[in-house]
């Protein structure tokens, strides 16, 4: 994951900044908002144009090694997660995303830490219990979609989010984190990230 985060940090310039990005498959110029493919073997992301993206709509495309990441953030307003259920995951902060790996059939959690992004294996029983409480959770698309949980803001929010957007959030944390608690700027950036989700501006 670290190399992928560096990709996003350096390959998503502000609009109008520097040369235009190009599709990693056909070299056509890309708009600022574009699709990504996930290499399931390496975890690397490829930037792709619309024409190339549709070639990977099916899991068998590209020999099954490449998956299209769809831009479809989905809020989960009825998501159920009490303090006891959250404590079972052993995550010391209130912000994390969870990814199911299709090959291993395991779930991994990623969360911020003063020394970087931490990852932790999720107990299968805890994940099953969460899925039983939340019938939307089985709709999570393995490898290319994540369950994002925010317990830091007022109230608690959960999303099914494209993996590249989760990586973008982590890149924001890595770029702006200062000191032990992160500092005001990083949490302002996180608040803006969630505001963009609510307004459909990812």
Residue-wise pLDDT tens digits, 150-178:
998 766 789 999 998 998 898 898 888 88
Instruction: Name the percent of the chain lying above pLDDT 70.
Output: 85
**3-state SS string over the chain?**
CHHHHHHHHHHCCCCCCCCCCECCCCCCECCCCCEEEEECCCCCEEEECHHHHHHHCCCCHHHHCEEEECCCCEECCCCCCCHHHHHCCCCCCCEEEEEEECCCCEEEEEEEECCEEEEEECCHHHHHHHHHHCCCHHHCCCCCEEEEEECCCCCCEEEEEEHHHHHHHHHHHHHHCECCCECHHHHHHHHHHHHHHHCCCC
- The residue ranking higher by pLDDT, 62 or 151, is 151
Tokens of 96: 């994390």
Domain map of the chain by residue range?
Answer: 2-69, 74-198
Residue-wise pLDDT tens digits, 92-148:
999 999 999 988 999 999 998 877 789 999 999 999 999 999 999 988 999 999 999
Report which of 24, 49, 27, 47 is spatially closest to residue 37, judged by C-alpha positions. 47
With a cut of 50, say whether residue 8 has pLDDT above it. Answer: no
Q: How confident is the model over 35-49, as a mean pLDDT? A: 87
Q: What count of Cα atoms within 13 Å lies in the side-chain half-sphere of residue 160?
A: 21
With a cut of 70, say whether residue 9 has pLDDT above it. Answer: no
List residues bridging with 69 in a β-sheet: 36
Number of residues written out for the chain: 202
Residue 99 φ/ψ, nearest 5 degrees: -125, 130
Tokens of 38: 């996930």
Q: Angle between the 184-198 and 163-176 helix axes, to the nearest 10 degrees?
A: 160
């Amino acid at each position: 994951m670290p190399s992928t985060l560096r990709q996003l940090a350096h390959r998503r310039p502000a609009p109008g900044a520097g040369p235009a990005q190009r599709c990693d498959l056909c070299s056509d110029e890309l708009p600022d908002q574009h699709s990504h493919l996930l290499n399931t073997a390496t975890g690397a992301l490829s930037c792709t144009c619309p024409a190339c993206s549709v070639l990977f709509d099916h899991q068998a495309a590209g020999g099954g090694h490449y998956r299209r990441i769809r831009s479809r953030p989905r809020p989960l307003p009825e998501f159920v997660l009490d303090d006891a259920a959250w404590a079972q995951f052993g995550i010391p902060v209130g912000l994390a995303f969870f990814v199911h790996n299709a090959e291993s059939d395991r779930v991994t959690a990623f969360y911020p830490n003063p020394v970087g992004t931490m990852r932790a294996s999720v107990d299968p029983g805890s994940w099953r219990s969460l899925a039983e409480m939340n019938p939307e959770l089985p709709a999570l698309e393995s490898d290319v979609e994540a369950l994002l949980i925010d317990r830091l803001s007022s109230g608690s929010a959960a999303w099914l989010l494209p993996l590249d957007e989760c990586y973008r959030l982590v890149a924001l944390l890595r770029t702006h984190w200062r000191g032990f608690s992160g500092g005001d700027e990083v949490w302002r950036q996180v608040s803006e990230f969630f505001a963009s989700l609510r307004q459909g501006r990812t």
